[in-house]
Structure 1
Amino acid sequence: MTDPPERPASRRPVLRPVEALRPQAAFAIDLLRWVALGLLVGVLAGGAAAVFLASLRWATETFDEHGGLLWFLPLAGLAIGLAYHYGGGRSVEGGNLILDEIHDPTDWVPRRMAPMILIGTITTHLFGGSAGREGTAIQMSGSLTDAASRLLRLGRDDRRIMLVTAIAGGFGAVFGVPLAGAVFALEVQSVGRLRYEALVPCLTASVTGDLVVEGLGIGHTLTPHLGQVDLSVGLLLKVALAGALFGLASVAFSIGDHWVKRAFGRWVAWPPARPLLGGAMVVALTLAVGNRLYNGLSEGLAEASLLGAHVPTWAFALKLLFTIVTLGSGFVGGEVTPLFVIGATLGATLAAPLGVPPELLAALGFVAVFAGASNTPLACTIMGVELFGAGAVPYFAVACVMSYVFSAHQGIYRTQRSSGPKVPGWQWARWSGGGTEGSAP
């Protein structure tokens, strides 16, 4: 009996060189396409940020020179309220609309959002309202980018990535932190989950936006470099404690902001009257305090804290109060710069009791309070390095992570989604009443 013929071993078919390179060629073409789209978004975001920053500088300087403008803040609030109520449409949803359209693209971001948020924010600052600039930059970038997506006839999935890219371009350009801007856009969408599909266009847009702002001669606020900070267990423990307190400060801001918005919505039926009343309250608060340290951006408070100079002990609480009344009543602007100020002044206040150099703790608070409020610890750690140098990286990481954990599921972005508990086994979302909604798909 003869053995059956031996079967040839199965082999993977040998591709010709052209066929083997076809997937790589398609990938390279797609990569170049997204680099080009990222460049487009970066130019739009950088140009918008430059116009906004120049206008904001003018508004801030004008208010500093003519303090009597504060008396007209209620009327400015009424004008903003009327514009948004009768002509804003979906623009009234602000930055939450951008996140909503990323999660579930259903309709185009209104083109009117860009000019409305620009004029509204400048008006807020010109008359002494307490607000920031990140919300404005992101909304302008998102509106202009979605208009470009419409012209380019991009599909639903591409449009989502373009909106994520717009966040990166706007954030990186307005603060001069291109790496943090890219990571922030990937991190802010869902708590506990990074989305990497938009990494290439986000990094491209953020770097491009920053270069456009610099190329147009618009400078950012200078921050001191900390130098090398030696690693110490004792200092790490103190920073961890401070980070927890930074997280609680972010919770106070988020809860206060949401509560004020609900209170105005419940007690003041006609929306344009809400910023009218809010403006009157800010005027009253300014008179009660006796100075204008807490109006506008309050960058002087942050600069004094970062340089180790004296700041009022309760400066962080007063800045928080001024900001939640301003934004909660219907004025427009961002939350990030006020959160920087709140964090820096709180760090300066905690420095003596904790026995930590005030410049270090102010710098940590500068980014850590925002890390807790936005649920973006990685982006804020990188921001700390970009703003203050790499000499204190472990301390930035500890402060931002502790703030993130202790902010539970609160947050300043109402439509930010949650991918689960921040600490395994701790279902904080059950009792935190958080500011984040939904779950990541």
Structure 2
Amino acid sequence: MSKINPKDIVKNCIQQIKSIHLNWIEINAYLFKWIPFSVIVGLIVGIVASLFDLALIKINALISNHTAIIILYALFVATLTGILSKNDERMMGPGINYILSRDKNDITFVSFIKKTILSLFALAGVFVAGREGPSFFLGSYLSSSTANIFKISEKFERIVGLIGAGAFTAALLKAPLGAAVFVLEIRYVNDMEYEGFPQVLIASIVSYSVFAFLRGKHSLLTINGNLNWHIPTLIYLVLTGIFIAVASYIFISLYYFAKCNSAYLKTTIRPLVGVLLALPIIVTLAHEHNLHLISASVNYLALTKLSIQLIPINKTILLILATMLLVSLTVGFGISGGLILPSLIIGALIGNGVASIFNLNPTLFALSGMAAFLSASAKTPLAAIILVLEISQTDLIIPLTTCVVVSYILSYGVGVYSSQKECKLKLNQN
């Protein structure tokens, strides 16, 4: 064995240290381009999202609980949606699939205005629809418009769109980290958009901060009481995950069956036909004053109600089916709205149902159900856990993860977003 020369060791280590260096090109890109851009986008989106939220509250205040008013309002929104979507079907439905399926953002100012108007009326009451669908569309436009001022290359257009989408979603859901992870996780079933994480997170935090300053810092859910859990509780959470996996398959099948059938109708009458079919459900849910289901997109009070009180199991099953059908006949037929809120509501109902059957803590199981159903339907397990923890401000990482993993695995292969890819590798191979 040859003798080791200490000087050679030191010399070799010095050479290795010399090979370690900072990537100043990337650092400069972040310091002088991406960070300022993300901050500006966050500021703009935070202000626009605040005005959007304020408008929702004002419009909702004009809608009374009188059955005739509810019916007329639903028909008005459906008719308006058909008219404004006549030559632009991008105005219909969630908007996420459109953003996911394109690397180039070609949203015009006119489309932005039309989508804003339709989303405001659709989310102001009557329909069970989420804010994140329009958030993707509107946020992407604002971010892309800002990118033109910063002269950001078109090769980054996909990341630019995600920055705005994450910022708008973060503000309206009051969940900056959950929204950032959601927009980066939603494109793929088995992968994430890691390249844009710092930019999306910065914009989401800034947007949320502006929104919280202008509209209040309170969380979407008001959760009080005991949330303690024990190891045996995980068995019931596994059972909840199994139920949710089955329910998510039913919901996704209903949604795409309705969407497929609606495609054979003219664009101008498609939303109206769906709403006419859904009117009995809308009127029925409107009379469930205690749960606030049809105003959930305005104040999210329904999620709090489902988390703090046990509902009889027979009523829970009817509400689950009613919500699935309502979303399929409205959003599936083109009403502007997202699918996160419906997923959270259905998940909360299933969790509440399990808690009711076994006399368990409704809050623990409703929150776990929310995360599990969102994970199963959107194929975003990490975002689902973070999002529910943020909107509820609770510490339930283990129960939520247990339920999420079960529902995600057992529902693998089906998802509510048709533009999702398996992973980046398979996308590149195509």
Asked whether the 8 Å contact 1:114–1:141 carries over to 2, the reply is no
Shift of 1:99: 1.0
- The aligned runs of 1:193-208 (5 Å cut-off) are 193-208=191-206
Aligned partner of 2:245 in structure 1 is 247
Distance 2:380 2:225 in 1: 22
2:250 and 2:411 mapped to 1: Cα distance?
A: 9
Residue type of the partner of 1:235? T
Per the TM alignment, residue 227 of structure 1 is displaced from its structure 2 partner at its CA by: 5.5
Structure 2 equivalent of residue 297 of structure 1: 296
2:412 corresponds in structure 1 to 408
Q: Which moved more, 1:384-393 or 1:169-178?
A: 384-393
What is the deviation of 1:334?
Answer: 1.3
Report the TM-score, using the length of structure 2 for normalisation. Answer: 0.85
| 1:42 aligned onto 2:42 | yes
What is the TM-score normalised by the length of structure 1?
A: 0.83
Aligned residues of 1:124 and 1:331 also touching (Cα < 8 A): yes
The equivalent of 1:162 in structure 2 is: 160
Q: CA deviation at 1:247?
A: 2.4
CA apart distance, 1:92: 4.6
Structure 1 gap ranges (5+): 1-8, 421-437
Q: CA 1:284/1:67 → structure 2, altered by over 3 Å: closer, same or farther?
A: closer
* Residues 281 and 322, structure 2, Cα contact 8 Å, conserved in 1: no
Q: Aligned ranges for residues 315-326 of structure 1 at < 5 Å?
A: 315-326=319-330
| C-alpha displacement of 1:415 | 0.9
Q: Distance in 2 between matches of 1:344 and 1:243?
A: 12
Give the corresponding residue for 1:70.
70
- Structure 2 residue aligned with 1:191: 189
* Unaligned segments of structure 2, at least 5 residues: 1-7
- Write the distance in 2 (CA, Å) between the matches of 1:222 and 1:288: 24
Cα-Cα RMSD: 3.0
Shift of 1:28: 2.3
Contact 1:417 1:440 in 2 (8 A): no
Match for 1:276 among 272, 275, 286? Answer: 272
Residues 1:287 and 1:20: Cα distance change in structure 2 (over 3 Å): closer
Deviations 1:293-338 (A, max 9, x none): 5434274442221112436322222112111111112211111112
The percentage of aligned residue pairs carrying the same residue is 21
Structure 2 match to 1:79: 80
Q: Which moved more, 1:309-318 or 1:342-351?
A: 309-318
Of 358, 362, 366, the match for 1:358:
362
Residues 2-401 of structure 1 aligned to structure 2 (within 5 Å): 23-32=22-31, 33-65=33-65, 67-72=67-72, 73-86=74-87, 88=88, 90-92=90-92, 94-101=95-102, 105-106=103-104, 108-126=106-124, 128-218=126-216, 221-224=220-223, 229-232=228-231, 234-266=232-264, 268=265, 270-287=266-283, 291=287, 294-297=293-296, 299-310=300-311, 312-313=315-316, 314-401=318-405
Counterpart of 2:311, as a letter, is H
Displacement of 1:376: 0.5
Secondary structure in structure 1 of the residue aligned to 2:137: helix
Distance 1:388 1:226 in 2: 12
Report the Cα distance in structure 1 between the residues aligned to 2:105 and 2:301, rounded to whole angstroms: 41
Higher mean alpha-carbon deviation, 381-390 vs 338-347, is at: 381-390
Q: Distance in 1 between matches of 2:111 and 2:310?
A: 40
In structure 2, what residue type is equivalent to 1:397? T
The amino acid across from 1:284 in the alignment is P
Cα distance, 1:260 vs structure 2? 0.4
Q: Kindly indicate whether the alpha-carbon contact (under 8 Å) linking 1:242 and 1:350 is maintained by their aligned counterparts in 2.
A: yes
How big is each residue's C-alpha offset from its partner over 1:194-235, in whole Å with a ceiling of 9 and x where there is no partner? Answer: 221111101101111110101112455333156653441x21
Q: 2:5 matched to which residue of 1?
A: none
Kept in 1, the 8 Å contact 2:127–2:282? The answer is: no
Distance 1:111 1:290, change over 3 A: closer
Structure 1 residues 407, 55: CA separation in 2 closer, same or farther (over 3 Å shift)? farther
What is the deviation of 1:291? 2.1
Q: Is the 8 A contact 1:229 1:391 kept in 2?
A: no
Change (3 A) 1:289 1:204: closer
Alignment CA distance shift 1:315-1:415 (3 Å):
same
Aligned length: 407
Q: For the structure 1 residues 91 and 287, does the alpha-carbon distance in structure 2 shift closer, same or farther, using more than 3 Å as the test?
A: closer
Offset at residue 169 of structure 1 (A): 1.0
